[in-house]
Amino acid sequence: MKALRNVIIGLLLFVLTVFGLLAVVATNVRAMEFVVRQVLQRTAKDVQSFSLGSLTYTFPSSWALGNVRATVLSKGKPALIYAGRVELKDVFHLLTDGEHAQVNFSGGSASYDQLKVRGASCSVDLSRLTNGILYRGNILLAQVSQEPFSVSDVKTEFFGDQRSVTLSNLTAAVYGGRLSGAAVFIVPTSYDVELALKEVDSGELERAMGGVFRELGGKLSGRLHVAGSGQRIDLFDTSWNMPSGGAVSAELLSSITRYIPDSVQKKRIDFLIRSGGKLAVESFLFTLKNDSPDQLSGEIGIKSREANLELNVTHEIRVDARIDSLLQAWQAVFK
């Protein structure tokens, strides 16, 4: 009996010690910081640093973390991540199938090379299943920028598991217009993205990126559907127009002047090309898609009435090349 009593007392002391340690970790910011660092060192070696500013514990398994900072190494460059507040609710529920937990964070920002994110907030519901964890939530980003690109008021819903993630109801403010779309990403690298842009200001695009946007004037609307794996693009389909009319550099018309018979129209366009002028247009259409993996086709359609000039031309485009090869060549030229 004495031996049994000693065993029971020993077990009770052990349990009390464990609970005491758990209580310290759960409620002490420095202890929690130390534990998280140790876990990250074993499970996420790319995380170079982690720190907490404050910690609040709610029985039995909810925490509120304040001023969370982390440095993550990606391709040899550090990504700096900050969140003003992170809430972990019912974390122990993830130990049981069919149970739910929740993660919320706000006041977030991130910086990686030239990529900057500010005003980030996110709410995620986590569900434990036998074969893993499902997640569903929404994200708000006040601004995302990577020279020369910049978007604001980014919102999207998402759901997925360890094999895939789907973005839905994606919206953003882009250069005076609006972006909407959806996307699916399959681990490790497959993707399928559909985007639509409405009345984006070509003047703002020109100031940000230059290039072909110098040749346009007005509000652009369009869509893009692209799918593939890694840097390989297997499906590419896009079209653009100016619903409210605008202007097109006459230089862009040089390839289609041969379709126009000798006339006042042709002389007018030739003059605009030589002088670097722009042609006012009532409608403008540009399409491009890959009919096969190695062939692109499209068309340019223009309707213009400038003074006594009437022009209605559609020009077919055919290119024997993969779209990803063309994009990689573009990136090499403008790197």
pLDDT of residue 203: 84
Kindly tell me if the per-residue pLDDT of 8 is higher than 60: no
Model confidence over 121-132: pLDDT tens digits?
A: 999 999 988 778
DSSP 27: H
Query: What distance in Å separates the CA atoms of residue 50 and residue 236, rounded to the nearest whole number?
Result: 41
Tell me if 279 sits within 8 A of 250, measured CB to CB: yes
Query: What distance in Å separates the CA atoms of residue 39 and residue 56, rounded to the nearest whole number?
Result: 20
Helix (H), strand (E) at residue 265: helix 264-275
Q: Which residue has the higher pLDDT, 115 or 258?
A: 115
Q: Which residue has the higher pLDDT, 64 or 15?
A: 64
**Range in 12-26, 139-153, 218-232, 248-262 the model is least confident about:** 12-26
Q: What residue ranges do the domains of the chain occupy?
A: 161-335
For helices 2-27 and 29-43, what crossing angle results, to 10°? 90
Q: Is 208 helix (H, G, I), strand (E, B) or coil?
A: helix
Mean of per-residue pLDDT scores for the chain: 81
Query: What distance in Å separates the CA atoms of residue 309 and residue 260, rounded to the nearest whole number?
Result: 12
